[in-house]
Amino acid sequence: MPRVVGVLSLQGDFQLHCDAIAACGAEPRQVRMPEDLAGCEGLILPGGESTTLGILLRRHGLDQAIAERCRDGMPAWGTCMGMILMAQRVEGRDQFTLSLLDITIRRNAFGPQVHSFEQEIPVKGFVSPFPAVFIRAPIVTECGPEVESLAEVEGKVVAVRQGRLLGTAFHPELTADRRVHEYFLSLFGG
């Protein structure tokens, strides 16, 4: 029986994550309401616009449902905006987050959309570099003691793990390389 992976589907590039999860042999499930989380063994929070998504999460009651499930041990992975939403702190802003990852985030750390870029980066545990796509990407400026840095660009942390929680500033779903999706599935255990 394949793993069931929820993909937050209120906004952003959720369909590409669904396709990647299916390519890894798991079953993607679009999550739009708290009841959609039932049966999900993990959750991906995709890229998009964090302020808008924060409003939608609260409106639909998903903020509390996601936080509770993650605190109960459900693996979760945030890409770009999703990592911002999972952070405990956002530099220079008082914005809604789920406060799951003990990190401080700086939004748009590499500049506006016109400064988006692709770069091969070393990722801890990967034999070869990963083709990372950065679009208005954040960086992690501070990590708590239980947070492990998995990748950096120019000395800036762009991927972290804290237990069964994963955050990437880049967009693995925009590549054909499924290693980060497979890594996330490995966090499910059993």
Instruction: Just list the catalytic residues.
Output: 80, 171, 173
Residues whose CB is less than 8 angstroms from the CB of residue 154 and which lie 6 or more positions away in sequence, other chains included: none
Structure tokens at 146: 């239980």
Report yes or no: 95 and 50 within 8 Å, Cβ to Cβ.
yes
29, 40 contact by CB (below 8 A): yes
Residues 175 and 154: beta-carbon distance below 8 Å: no
For residue 49, give the amino acid letter.
E
Structure tokens belonging to residue 75: 């693996």
Q: Which residues make beta-bridge pairs with 117?
A: 134
